[in-house]
Amino acid sequence: MITFWNPPAVENKLWAAATVERVAKRVDFHPPAELIQLVNKAAAERDSAKQSQLWVEYQKQMTDYANLIVLFQPIYQVAVRNTVAAFPLTAAGWMADIGNAKPSA
């Protein structure tokens, strides 16, 4: 199954958790408990070298267990009038930071 996922930020846990939780449910994938525990363990690991090893292990296990590939992430385009000079978006890419929007001079 090739599917999409649109996390609110670029962060390993948001991508990995989706593949064993939200997206997994959407595509009827029932991951083993050990794989879910591995995602949580990797996300909680404070040592960056150990965390990196755990994420690599997660990727290896996903290739063995999964019936899904998160292949793409949607791109959002936001249009504003030319009377707006600044319309910053949050890291999510589709939420506006209205407090910092500015009209044209």
pLDDT, tens digit (0-9, with 9 covering 90-100), for 56-73? 999 999 888 877 777 666
pLDDT surpasses 90 at 92: no
pTM of the model: 0.64
Residue 3 Cα to chain centre, angstroms: 13
Q: Measured between alpha carbons, how far is 105 from 98 in angstroms, rounded to an integer?
A: 17
**Are 59 and 12 spatial neighbours (Cβ–Cβ below 8 Å)?**
no
Q: What is the pLDDT of residue 8?
A: 67
Q: What is the pLDDT of residue 73?
A: 62
At 102 the three-state DSSP class reads: strand
pLDDT surpasses 70 at 82: yes
Q: What is the pLDDT of residue 91?
A: 66
Extents of the domains making up the chain: 2-72, 77-105
